[in-house]
Structure 1
């Protein structure tokens, strides 16, 4: 086994929308499939478990005190993940059994924030089955703010994986220069960017981040079609009324440390994409540019990062 080579699985599939148990099973099936294909790291899209809030863009989601919107949200929230209650235990066990690392996009309803608000979260599970980071999206984008809460810096962490150091961000927070810099400064050389599903999101930024960081950049997107909404979805006819046949077309791709495509964005294709990366390519490209190393000026420019997990209360028991 070559420690400098890492085989990656990009899982580009739709969720069983807002159905936690069915989407968990789907994730387990794809992890098993990826492991059979020799993958050492498997990555799912943003909010894959149990799905992105697609209804926002096709309904009057900002209507105040609207009964329909409340009922859709309540259904969506009821299917969100509560890590503290063991919702990811089966995924963790599978990671351990297969000795495979996992980046999994989830909709989290954390008990440490009261257990009712939702966060767009990227979870890293190591090959021993241990959760090593739970990164809550720093800033939900546009209509996402109607259902997701802003996260904190606690999950801005990187992880060793063979010769690589991996880190990840959710969707448009990949456009946040300081969030990227925080991961670069921690030694990241394999950047994971997860998306709900659109070539327009991945076709430019993937190569840009690769060129900026001189790292491998993996963008993983989901798919979403009308047929991916279960029949028991509240107000389904209303949601589908203005829903195109395909709203999430994928766009998963990989750029190398020189900013060139290893895997160009793949649209409208469901399945698992497999690639093997060679760490030496990182060292080659850092020869002339390293954004936090020899091409930085910490005496002039520095970034401070607050990684304290934020909470509304601080308990002090006597």
Structure 2
């Protein structure tokens, strides 16, 4: 039996560093996607309150002038902005995956929320390792939320940006039998001479993820707007490092094929594709990397799912679990 539904990937500019306006725009896109029959909508990385492009344009000391305003416009789990998003999901009967900058007291994290169609928060996860200059602003996640959620439409997982360049993290997700993956990207207009940061390579990462994991991939992508350029760019040197546009959203099938006609790099809108979960079985029949195509006798992955909190409530939280001990004993043998 086939499980078919429509899925939407967002390509749009954020309301940069304005969380209330950003949530308004997110809700409008949620309503638009639901109106077109989508069962799930996926937003870009750090779309609320916008990816902090200033961290790539100047030195850290200079960029501190942006930090307080950015910090104040980030989301705390369970705050009124979360409540507005969960209410929008419930009222429109649509799942929502949204990339946001999470504020947890004094620290910020690159994060993703997965909201169910009844408005329940199914997952809130943090990027395992911020990339390069991101580490001047954001902290790290841990393995406790590297997970695939069994939802009513599919088994859904989420990763951000260059987490798709991490082979072991990807393999951990494949091992949880993901069916629908959210690959969130911030946009591709920064550092135009850096091929590794461009749309061609990074869309290829999303495409390969679909082919390797034999799953559907929604790859939403942000856009850099004129308003963002006016706020961020102060001189000719910075103007050479970033431009408007950078949108390259796409949806890929479990055989890796693109399912949508791309929008223009500066164009905003939704990409919508039909998803048929039953079609995954055909792709899996050729090469299932965590099933019949695996060689666990040669290579295996150990995944630490324990939350790495800086303060433990008791000594038991600091003790290695029996399962972990068993893994280490097998390695010793």
TM-score (norm 2): 0.84
1:164 shift after superposition: 2.2
Q: What is the match of residue 56 of structure 1?
A: 55
- Is contact 1:119–1:151 with CA below 8 Å preserved after alignment? yes
Once the two structures are superposed, the pairs formed by residues 152-301 of structure 1 within 5 Å of their partners are: 152-198=142-188, 199-228=199-228, 238=234, 242-243=238-239, 246-263=243-260, 265-266=262-263, 267-301=265-299
1:265 shift after superposition: 4.5
CA 1:3–1:90: 2 relative to 1, 3 Å: farther
Whole-Å separation in 2 of the counterparts to 1:146 and 1:191: 28
- Is contact 2:260–2:271 with CA below 8 Å preserved after alignment? no
1:264 shift after superposition: 5.2
1:174 shift after superposition: 1.0
Q: What is the match of residue 37 of structure 1?
A: 36
- Give secondary structure in 1 for the equivalent of 2:224: strand
Alignment pair present for 1:82 and 2:76? yes
1:257-289: per-residue Cα shift (whole Å, max 9, x none)?
112221254322211111111112211111121
1:240 shift after superposition: 8.7
CA RMSD after TM alignment: 2.2
- Is contact 1:105–1:121 with CA below 8 Å preserved after alignment? yes
Whole-Å separation in 2 of the counterparts to 1:301 and 1:287: 21
Q: What is the match of residue 321 of structure 2?
A: none
- Give secondary structure in 2 for the equivalent of 1:109: strand
For structure 1, list consecutive stretches of 5 or more residues without a partner in the other structure: none
Structure holding more strand per residue: 1
- Give secondary structure in 2 for the equivalent of 1:6: strand
Whole-Å separation in 2 of the counterparts to 1:132 and 1:42: 14
1:237 shift after superposition: 6.1
Whole-Å separation in 2 of the counterparts to 1:258 and 1:298: 24
- Is contact 1:202–1:265 with CA below 8 Å preserved after alignment? no
Whole-Å separation in 2 of the counterparts to 1:106 and 1:80: 7
TM-score (norm 1): 0.88
- Give secondary structure in 2 for the equivalent of 1:200: helix
1:145 shift after superposition: 1.1
Whole-Å separation in 1 of the counterparts to 2:254 and 2:25: 32
1:107-160: per-residue Cα shift (whole Å, max 9, x none)?
0012xxxx1111000111111211111111011111111111111112211123
- Is contact 2:9–2:251 with CA below 8 Å preserved after alignment? no
Q: What is the match of residue 326 of structure 2?
A: none
1:200 shift after superposition: 3.4
Whole-Å separation in 2 of the counterparts to 1:78 and 1:212: 39
- Is contact 2:149–2:157 with CA below 8 Å preserved after alignment? yes
Residue-pair matches, total: 302
- Is contact 2:213–2:289 with CA below 8 Å preserved after alignment? yes
For structure 2, list consecutive stretches of 5 or more residues without a partner in the other structure: 189-198, 315-333
